Amino acid sequence: MSNKKYFGYAGKILTVDLSSSDYVVKDTPFDLIVNFMGGKGFGAKILYDELKPGCDPLSEENIMVVATGPLTGTLMPASGHITLSTKSPLTGIWLDSHCAGFLGPELKMAGYDAIIIKGKAKKPTVLVIKDDGVSFEDGRDIWGKFTFESQELLRKKYGENCQFMCIGPAGERKARFANIVSGGRGFGRGGSGAVMGSKNLKAVVVKGTRGIGIYDLDGFMRICTEAYNELTVSPDTGGGRPKYGTNSIYSFMIEAGAHPIKNFQTGVFKAVKECNEDVLDKKYYKRHIACFSCPINCSKASRVDDGKYKGKFTEGPEYENMWSLGAQCGNSNIGSIIYGEHLCDEYGLDAISTGNVIGFTMECFEKGILSEKQIGFPTNFGNDDAIIKFIKMMAKGEGVGELMSQGVRQMSKELGKGTEKFAMHVKGMEIPAYDPRGAFGMGLAYATSDRGACHLRAWTLGDEILDVRDRMDPFATEFKAELVKNQQDFFAVIQSAVVCLFLNFGLTQRHITRCLQSLTGIKEWKTTEDILKIGERIYNLTRLFSMREGISAKDDTLPQRLLREPTKEGPTKGVVVDLDTMLKEYYLIRHWDREGRPAKEKLIELGLDKYKV
């Protein structure tokens, strides 16, 4: 039985207070739907309204908004996503984190567009949601256990076809970039696992049996059919991605100098000959895995068949982690990357930040800033044993691992000695697997991303390097501001819809708009412009949120290494990012003032005028 009030939505929001073991269920307000759509949009609106400014992200005052969107759990391709919004313990600002797989559809089918999680449980707790039934159960028996083992035990207890959100030992001890795991996927970035840990919430179990209603069945089926066909013919979603997963671009990114090597010291990675997507495909990928309703199956199950990591496996390794535990650490041993990724998931650490911090630590060691005595073992670039040790140390908070698990910003602050120049983060979030010196747009994307350095708020490389229209030059500043702004707004729509960003590589904005229209029948969403306006509204509101937490224009920047320190060799030899030019233009296009504050007129236009800058 589906909700007939609003098509495409479950129609209810569940608010849970862990402090009092109490909950309320309310109708999803229509103005929230129309203006903020779902997912990230719901998170932005609810957190801005309800979160106490300046609160400690790891205190019981922090709130987690776990939200689906209208397209989640539908026939729309790649609709298995779900969004978590909170104040990040890693950055102290806005965080939205996204998880693929099957959790989103399950939550919606349990009858909820979102769960708002408040307070702090007195003892380790498992929140169990089965349709109308909501209960707070004792989680002490699985506290301390790995994520995969915990999920196995929960499955035995609560039934085969449940979906989970679960933290591991790293989240329990509030490591600043702990993640939340769901099946083989996770809410990766920004430390949402630490927030869950601070609330004594070990896991959420979800099971639902309700359906999702469709406004215009024929129209919806038509657009879905078209979307599936488009995805099949795209060179990306119908070619490279199904075969190689997200690693389809791996070799090329190295060729283009856009793959950072050894903590962004160079753009040259000679080991690419034995460490690349072809080797992964032939030697390690055992089968393809898809998320809910996704024909692309970018995910792979990998296993190591020989050598010192024999028998280790992971769902992955994805492009980002091939970098973070690979080239970032000068490491080309794929077995160790597979094992490392598995360990990150098992302990509950974000593998991007994990690898970034390890690369930083290795550079500190090679520069003599951290000694072998301080660390306990030698950690030159390329030392795969050290990578594995570091992951465990960070998860458990052992030795130097405790400092490392606070993130690269905090680590460089404590170490001093000029390390802030090569602490590769923006606003406290570790930079992922693209070097902006190989494509300037990514520099602006990182500097203006609302959750700190992130490649999923704008991903400019396609347009900059593989541009068919012949307009862009990766090493120029022209057109980049417009590109980044437009992508940020559109990606905010996708992240509120909530579907997978990879649809972007096969579908157009028109497909998403038409799909939303036929599914929901919401009259206010007539054109693509209407939809993009929602994205712009959300992006401005997350900006206001972070400004309220203390960021300003001076934080919209990049590490010194990218701005002042050109690489000495390779395809980007001699290049540094000209951020200022792009940033000025970006503020202008966004109608933000020189301090990076959204202008009054812009806020009025977006219906955000009641929010103060």
Partner 1 sequence: MPIADHKKCTGCRICEIICSIQHHKEMNPKLAMVRINSNWPWEDKVIICRQCKKPKCVEACEYEAIERVDGCLRIDEDKCTACLECVKACPFEGVVVSEITGKPIFCDTCNEEYLCVKWCPHQVLSKT
Partner 2 sequence: MKVKIKAKFFAMPRDYQGDREIEMEVSENFEEALEEIDSRTKIGIKEKLDKRFVILINGRNYRKVLEDKGKLEEGDNLAFVPFLGGG
**Binding-site ranges for partner 1 (CB under 8 A):** 2, 73-75, 102, 105, 109, 160-161, 183-184, 207-214, 217, 221, 228, 232, 286-295, 297, 301, 313-315
The token pair at 589 is 């296009």
Contact between 167 and 193 (Cβ < 8 Å) = yes
The token pair at 173 is 């001890």
Q: Which residues contact 374 (CB under 8 A, 6 or more apart)?
A: 400
CA distance 288 to 316: 10
Between 75 and 494, whose beta carbon lies closer to partner 1? 75
Residue choice 201, 249, 337, 547 for contact with partner 2 (CB under 8 A)? 249
CA distance 495 to 40: 6
Q: In 3-state terms, what secondary structure has residue 300?
A: strand
Residues 405-434 that bind partner 2 (CB under 8 A): 434
Between 345 and 536, whose beta carbon lies closer to partner 1? 345
Q: Minimum Å distance from CB 110 to partner 1?
A: 10
Stretch of 5-13, 254-262, 397-405, 603-611 lying at the interface with partner 2 (CB under 8 A): 254-262
Judged by beta carbon distances under 5 to 8 A according to partner kind, the member of partner 2, partner 1, none in contact with residue 252 is partner 2
CA angle at 372 for the pair 90 and 427, rounded to the nearest 5° = 20
Which phi and psi (to 5°) does residue 270 adopt? -65, -30
Judged by beta carbon distances under 5 to 8 A according to partner kind, the member of partner 1, partner 2, none in contact with residue 18 is none
Judged by beta carbon distances under 5 to 8 A according to partner kind, the member of partner 1, partner 2, none in contact with residue 105 is partner 1
Stretch of 101-109, 147-155, 233-241, 416-424 lying at the interface with partner 2 (CB under 8 A): 233-241
Q: Which residues contact 380 (CB under 8 A, 6 or more apart)?
A: 330, 362, 365, 366, 386
Count Cβ atoms below 10 Å from residue 221 Cβ, excluding itself: 13
Residues 441-480 that bind partner 2 (CB under 8 A): 455, 459, 461-462, 465-468, 470, 473
Count CA atoms closer than 13 A to 475's CA, side-chain side.
Answer: 11
Contact between 298 and 246 (Cβ < 8 Å) = yes
Which string of x and - marks every residue 279-298 that binds partner 2 (by CB under 8 A)? -------------------x
CA distance 224 to 454: 30
328 counts as binding partner 2 under rule CB under 8 A: no
My answer on whether omega of the bond before 559 falls inside 30° of 0, hence cis, is: no
Between 65 and 212, whose beta carbon lies closer to partner 1? 212
Which string of x and - marks every residue 120-139 that binds partner 2 (by CB under 8 A)? --------------------
230 counts as binding partner 2 under rule CB under 8 A: no
Residue choice 96, 113, 315, 318 for contact with partner 2 (CB under 8 A)? 318
Residue choice 68, 79, 248, 353 for contact with partner 2 (CB under 8 A)? 248
Q: Which residues contact 136 (CB under 8 A, 6 or more apart)?
A: 18, 21, 121, 125, 126, 127, 128
236 counts as binding partner 2 under rule CB under 8 A: yes
Most distant CA atoms of the chain, gap in Å: 68
Cα–chain center distance at 24: 29
Between 244 and 390, whose beta carbon lies closer to partner 2? 244
Count CA atoms closer than 13 A to 319's CA, side-chain side.
Answer: 21
Judged by beta carbon distances under 5 to 8 A according to partner kind, the member of partner 1, partner 2, none in contact with residue 248 is partner 2
Which chain residues interact with partner 2 by CB under 8 A? 234-237, 239-241, 243-249, 251-252, 255-257, 273, 277-278, 298, 318-320, 434, 455, 459, 461-462, 465-468, 470, 473, 502, 504-505, 571
